[in-house]
Structure 1
Amino acid sequence: MKKYITPLYYFIDDFIKSSNQWINNLYLSINTKKPTKTSEISYSYILTIISNQKFLSI
């Protein structure tokens, strides 16, 4: 099963790196306390990815 999990982990890692600018913008919108509807959805999506990474590292 690990041989399937590892590529998925790297895919998620790649996705996060490629979305760096998007995450930075999101971070700014959260910190300025003016989150748009999109950033609220995006934020929960990022949290889901992060929690899935913890699951994948088991």
Structure 2
Amino acid sequence: MTDDDKKRDNGAAEELGGKIKRGVGKLIGSEAGQNEIVHTADQLSEEDRKKREEGKFD
């Protein structure tokens, strides 16, 4: 996988993550709940990004 492929995959994953966050935020409605979901999603996204950079996939 080339660096360009990795960048493209990372960008697509981040875009999808943003769409999911917005959708969950609309469903939950409460700001506290949204913040918790966003924090968890960010943590998972960061872990996934690191795995992709290392070439480790589950």
TM-score bracket relative to the smaller structure: 0.3 to 0.5
TM-score, normalization by structure 2: 0.43
Q: What TM-score do the two structures reach when normalised by structure 1?
A: 0.43
